[in-house]
Copies of this chain bind each other. A is one copy, B any other.
Amino acid sequence: MNKFIDLSKEVKEAMEERKPVVALESTIISHGMPYPENIETAKTLENIVREHGAIPATIAIINGRIKIGLSEEELEFMGTSKEILKASRRDLPVVLAKGLSAATTVSATMICANLAGIKVFVTGGIGGVHRGAEQTFDISADLQELANTDVAVVCAGAKAILDLPRTLEYLETFGVPVVGFKTWEFPAFYTRESGLKVDYKVDDEIEAAKIIKTKWDLGLKGGVLIANPIPEEYALDKAYIDKAIEDALYEAEKRNIKGKEITPFLLDKIKDLTQGKSLKANIELVKNNAHVGAKIAIELNKLYKEA
């Protein structure tokens, strides 16, 4: 185990007993949702994973240590402290060397999960190619992480504020399989439709697990993206949410908000514009992902034990 890592008791035992473990990220806690919904959601996600027979491992950096599995107090700290940075791949060495605390993005959570030997990771939506990236070159490090780090990521697509067609092209160039969970359409976070196709549809968690293991058995580095649409009953109306996104993007541009601040700003703005409907949808889609991620982790675990 890497010297920077602290496993919680629950995760440590699970790893020793070769139980299925599901990684969860902390950016959603510190920068993605308001208090107290963030803490409640984090706990709900952990419980969903447990109820379906896997062990949750929420990941964060606290005082220069990689925490795999958070205690009640650590979760509260991540959800309330104003001093929590946001760490992607480039930030990890600095945050750890300086003994700081940071929420982990999809990129950093993949790295930490991989260091700890966790193979399945559940999030809301990945980062991707930002709108206007043909000019700004603003492309999330999440995509390179998917190209390089051996962790399967269960999500409801890329965050809808992004440029989805270019995000899919980028993933293709870098060889990342994009697999629809019971769908042929790439979901758009708040909605089930995007007008874009995934590479392949799988009908269940067994099929997903087989694809993931096959990739690594082939020696192909990097992740598999499992795109799991938001449940029908919680999906927002496409025209409605698209309008809110457009308005939020306009506001961000007007205020010249960029870099790490852009995604939290937009999510927060969209929440306001939709009177909280987007937050509710976000919570429900990630709960749905936790459910599916737990089932995939269990099947993948079986495949590795058989092998």
Contacts and interface: CB of A to CB of B under 8 A. Distances in A.
Interface of A: 2-4, 88-94, 96-98, 107, 111, 115, 129, 134-141, 143-145, 165-166, 169-179, 199-200, 207, 210-215, 217-220, 224
B2 A90 contact: no
Nearest to A163: B137
Nearest to A138: B169
Given A89-B175, A107-B175, A98 B139 contact: no
A172 B90 contact: yes
B93 A224 contact: yes
Given A94-B179, A98-B207, A137-B169, 6 more contacts: A88-B175, A90-B178, A93-B214, A97-B210, A136-B166, A141-B174
Q: Which 7 A-B pairs have the closest CB atoms?
A: A89-B175, A93-B215, A137-B169, A97-B214, A97-B210, A137-B166, A93-B214
A200 B93 CA distance: 11
Q: How many copies of this chain does the complex contain?
A: 3
A115 B214 CA distance: 14
Contact of A3 (B3, B90, B135, B217): B217
A135 B107 CA distance: 25
B129 A217 contact: no
Q: Is the interface of A mostly helix, strand, loop or mixed?
A: helix
Contacts of A218: 2, 4, 92-93, 96, 111, 115
A177 B94 CA distance: 8
Contact of A137 (B89, B129, B138, B176): B129
A139 B169 contact: yes
A210 to B, nearest CB: 4
A143 B139 CA distance: 15
A93 B141 contact: no
A233 B267 CA distance: 45
A144 B175 contact: yes
A177 B90 contact: yes
Contacts of A145: 175
A98 B215 CA distance: 12
Contacts of A93: 177, 211-212, 214-215, 218, 220, 224
B96 A214 contact: yes
Contacts of A3: 217
Contacts of A217: 2-4
Given A90-B175, A176-B90, A218-B2, A97 B139 contact: no
B173 A219 contact: no
Choose among A91, A169, A213 the residue with the greatest number of B CB atoms under 10 Å from its CB.
A169
B91 A199 contact: yes
Nearest to A167: B137
30 contacts: A2-B217, A2-B219, A4-B217, A4-B218, A89-B220, A90-B172, A90-B175, A90-B177, A93-B177, A93-B211, A93-B215, A94-B177, A94-B199, A94-B211, A94-B214, A98-B200, A98-B207, A129-B137, A134-B137, A136-B165, A136-B169, A138-B169, A139-B169, A139-B173, A140-B173, A141-B173, A141-B175, A143-B173, A144-B173, A144-B174
